[in-house]
Structure 1
Amino acid sequence: MTGGREAALFDDVPCIIAETSTLTTRPGVECALYKWRPPSPGSGRIRGIAVVYHGFGAHSLYPTVRYASSLLAENGLMVYGLDLPGHGASPGMRGLLTCVEDMINDGIAVAQYAARENVGDGGEEGVPLFLVGSSMGGAIALAVANRMPSSAVSGVVMLAPMLSLNVGSGSRMALGWLNAIVPLLPIIPSSATRPELQYRDKERRAECERNTLTYKGKLRPQSALTCIEFTTQIQQSFHEVTVPFLCMIADEDVVVDNSMARELMGKSPSKDKTLKSYAALHGLLCEPAPLLGIIEDDFVQWVLERCPR
């Protein structure tokens, strides 16, 4: 890991500035890493650690992801974000998802690094670690928690998670055919990714549209197939989810299928599981007030209730 510079954020949305560096997640794979430090608490002790995972095409400084990270940091958590390969400031073909295992392994690497750094820098054992994810990042957070030791993760928060996609069997067969012939060619359009279908607040939507690091091109067959395979794999692991979790879904979501969020509630043996739904679009943190305040409060309070006082 290297470090030293500060991330340049948008001036019109006040937030805690992220420190930027890099993290080698796998041999030969170096990703952009971000850290949001909380305002210095009186006790000098952080309340917890959080890793925030971004969605497809986005990155750690994308507005929706940054809003979540800044909220947690403002409330006393040390927050980390990683740009997946091909996303944001990380190298790689833009918008390419190589395979499910690569995403999970990258997610585990940053979670382990975040926990290790805070102990190594003089932090205390037992500081809770939370995994947070938006859209595809929600699936990553849940998959990473399932792979890590049960005592390592104190909770998972999923915002409009990609647990299922509305893709029929015919479309899946066509994707498999395209992936065999032109896996890297950006040829698959998606009307569901239009900003007006994801973000209701006009100012926050405009910020998302201005963001130049976001991948806004057509989907590559390999990336689309990886997302579908990821949802299938995560659904098969619902019965193994024992970590405390909060699943926040948008009733008007056209990007992901919410039905599997409810199935997760039924199949997971976790003794601490909560499902909350909102009359919102996919970008939950891009809703106007007063709904935005309700969503933010539900999100932050769930985490703080699981932190030591």
Structure 2
Amino acid sequence: MADARERYGHREHTLDGTRGRVVVREWPCERARYVALLVHGYGEHIGRYEYVAGVLGAHGAAVFGPDHMGHGKSAGERVLIEDFEDVVTDVHAVEELARAAYPGVPVVLIGHSMGGLIAARYAQRYGTGLAALVLSGPVLGTWELPRALLAYDELPDVPIDTGLLSRDPEVGAVYAADPLVWHGPFRRPTLEAFVRTLETVSKSGDVGALPLLWVHGDDDRIVPLPASRTGVGELRGPDQVERVYPGARHEVFNETNKDEVLADVTAFVDRVLAS
């Protein structure tokens, strides 16, 4: 760990990642019952999870989350990820940071969208150390966007329709104005890495006895529900809970029913910790 700075109710740590500086946010919790390790999605950053961290903190979690390479405050060319295995390795360094700060406390991994892909692969590599896995709108299974874009000789610039994030228009407005969010085109190496990692996760087996909660909006047009269902089915172990929210779009943690979603997450964690 290079340094840690306190600001606005959270701490920022800097780690030496696989491809440069990784900035990690910690929302501390006295007498934490568990650590929640948040894994954000494509083009965004961990600062967008302030509300989620607040709910989890009130529930007894110390919350940690990195900005991935090429995202947010971390180093690297913007949104360039050449190998998701490196991102998984970086997240593992964050878990080690959290365990040093909160020894003996169980760790729950929560991944959204691209972060769901990273979290799924993480569970395959490091799942024996986790208490539970939560996947939100995960990029898994038969997600077709990377292959569709790679078919072009010159990648088209297809900016996200912010209205697809949430039924709450304020979510899209804040996203569009956020300077730490990437608003430009995909990088070809990143799309190629998506394809490889989707295949890797698909062929690398289930998560065994690790408890898994999958939450998804049924009106998610960024990562459609049927595509994820295929991938989640391949990860399925004996303890899986599914929650699909009618009318909800891609970011269920930022949806108009976000408190219902987060209540489902905390109830799942309570059940896992009790067992």
TM-score above 0.5:
yes
Is residue 52 from structure 1 mapped to residue 38 from structure 2 by the alignment? yes
Query: How far apart, CA to CA, are the structure 2 residues paired with 1:66 and 1:188?
Result: 32
Query: How far apart, CA to CA, are the structure 2 residues paired with 1:6 and 1:116?
Result: 18
Match of 2:124 in 1: 146
8 Å Cα contact 2:213-2:241 kept in structure 1? yes
Q: Which amino acid aligns with 2:133?
A: V
Match of 2:269 in 1: 303
Is residue 250 from structure 1 mapped to residue 217 from structure 2 by the alignment? yes
SS in 2 for 1:52: strand
Instruction: Return closer, same or farther for 1:250/1:130 CA change in 2, 3 Å cut-off.
Output: same
Which has the higher Rg, Structure 1 or Structure 2? 1
1:161 to 138, 158, 179: 138
Query: How far apart, CA to CA, are the structure 2 residues paired with 1:168 and 1:115?
Result: 35
Q: Which amino acid aligns with 2:258?
A: L
Is residue 100 from structure 1 mapped to residue 84 from structure 2 by the alignment? yes
Provide the aligned length of Structure 1 versus Structure 2: 273
SS in 2 for 1:307: helix
Is residue 70 from structure 1 mapped to residue 37 from structure 2 by the alignment? no
Query: How far apart, CA to CA, are the structure 2 residues paired with 1:205 and 1:269?
Result: 32
Shift of 1:189: 2.1
Is residue 259 from structure 1 mapped to residue 245 from structure 2 by the alignment? no
Query: How far apart, CA to CA, are the structure 2 residues paired with 1:76 and 1:203?
Result: 28
Counting aligned pairs with the same residue, the percent is 26
User: TM-score with structure 2 length normalisation?
Assistant: 0.89
1:79 to 53, 63, 66: 63
Match of 1:196 in 2: 163
Aligned 1:1-309 pairs, distance under 5 A: 1-7=1-7, 17-26=9-18, 29-38=20-29, 40=30, 45-62=31-48, 65-119=49-103, 125=104, 127-148=105-126, 150=128, 152-164=129-141, 165-167=143-145, 171=148, 174=151, 187-191=155-159, 193-264=160-231, 266-268=233-235, 270-279=237-246, 280-288=248-256, 291-308=257-274
SS in 1 for 2:41: coil
8 Å Cα contact 2:109-2:134 kept in structure 1? yes
Shift of 1:196: 0.7
Instruction: Return closer, same or farther for 1:160/1:201 CA change in 2, 3 Å cut-off.
Output: same
Query: How far apart, CA to CA, are the structure 1 residues paired with 2:195 and 2:42?
Result: 12
Q: Which amino acid aligns with 2:67?
A: D
Q: Which amino acid aligns with 2:17?
A: T
Query: How far apart, CA to CA, are the structure 2 residues paired with 1:82 and 1:89?
Result: 9
Shift of 1:252: 1.0
Query: How far apart, CA to CA, are the structure 2 residues paired with 1:6 and 1:249?
Result: 34
SS in 2 for 1:304: helix
Shift of 1:251: 0.8
Query: How far apart, CA to CA, are the structure 2 residues paired with 1:7 and 1:283?
Result: 26
User: TM-score with structure 1 length normalisation?
Assistant: 0.80
Instruction: Return closer, same or farther for 1:274/1:198 CA change in 2, 3 Å cut-off.
Output: same
8 Å Cα contact 2:138-2:223 kept in structure 1? yes
User: What stretches of structure 2 of length at least 5 have no aligned partner?
Assistant: none
Shift of 1:159: 0.9
Shift of 1:308: 4.9
Query: How far apart, CA to CA, are the structure 1 residues paired with 2:42 and 2:127?
Result: 26
Query: How far apart, CA to CA, are the structure 2 residues paired with 1:250 and 1:276?
Result: 9
8 Å Cα contact 1:25-1:110 kept in structure 2? no
Q: Which amino acid aligns with 1:29?
A: G
Shift of 1:258: 2.4
User: What stretches of structure 1 of length at least 5 have no aligned partner?
Assistant: 9-16, 120-124, 179-186
Query: How far apart, CA to CA, are the structure 2 residues paired with 1:83 and 1:54?
Result: 7
Shift of 1:30: 2.0
Write out per-residue CA displacement over residues 35-76 of structure 1, whole angstroms, 9 at most, x where no aligned residue: 0013x4xxxx211011101101111102xx333222211211
